[in-house]
């Protein structure tokens, strides 16, 4: 089976910009963030200041964040519901 998508990571900056790159390319920045020096780093075709990086996140974390921003919450069965909705996923478990 062929892998359809690459292992992408999202570099989130303080100004709200999201830069999506392959994990190998993000590793250079991840390594740099462990130091205390402020540096400008080239990621793909972008140059960013390392002090403006909030974090480097995987696609699943970013998808969860998007759902929460849309006003949803996730029940213990893994289903996303809109705020105010009642979860009835437990009923499916009994069947």
Distance CA 21, CA 43 (A): 8
The two tokens of residue 26 are 């993000």
Query: Is residue 16 in a domain?
Result: yes
Domain tally, the chain? 1
Query: Is residue 48 in a domain?
Result: yes
Q: What average pLDDT score do residues 51-77 get?
A: 93
Query: Is residue 2 in a domain?
Result: no
Strands, E, within the chain: which ranges?
Answer: 8-13, 18-22, 40-43, 46-49, 53-58, 72-74, 80-82
Q: What average pLDDT score do residues 44-57 get?
A: 90
CB count within 10 Å of CB 45 equals 6
Distance CA 89, CA 47 (A): 46
Query: Is residue 18 in a domain?
Result: yes
Domain enclosing residue 86, as ranges: 8-94
Q: What average pLDDT score do residues 3-10 get?
A: 76
pTM of the model: 0.73
Query: Is residue 3 in a domain?
Result: no
Percent of the chain with pLDDT over 90: 54
At 35, is the pLDDT very low, low, confident or very high (cuts 50, 70, 90)? Answer: confident
Between 38 and 89, name the one with better pLDDT: 89
Does residue 60 contact residue 78 with C-beta atoms inside 8 Å?
A: no
């Amino acid at each position: 089976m062929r892998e359809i998508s690459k292992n992408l990571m999202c570099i989130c900056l303080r100004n709200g910009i999201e830069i999506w790159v392959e994990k190998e390319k993000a590793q250079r920045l991840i390594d740099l963030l462990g130091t205390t020096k402020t540096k400008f780093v080239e990621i793909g075709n972008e140059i960013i200041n390392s002090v403006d990086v909030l974090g480097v996140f995987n696609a699943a974390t970013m998808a969860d964040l998007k759902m929460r921003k849309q006003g949803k919450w996730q029940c213990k069965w893994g289903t996303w519901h809109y705020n105010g909705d009642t979860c009835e996923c437990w009923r499916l478990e009994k069947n």
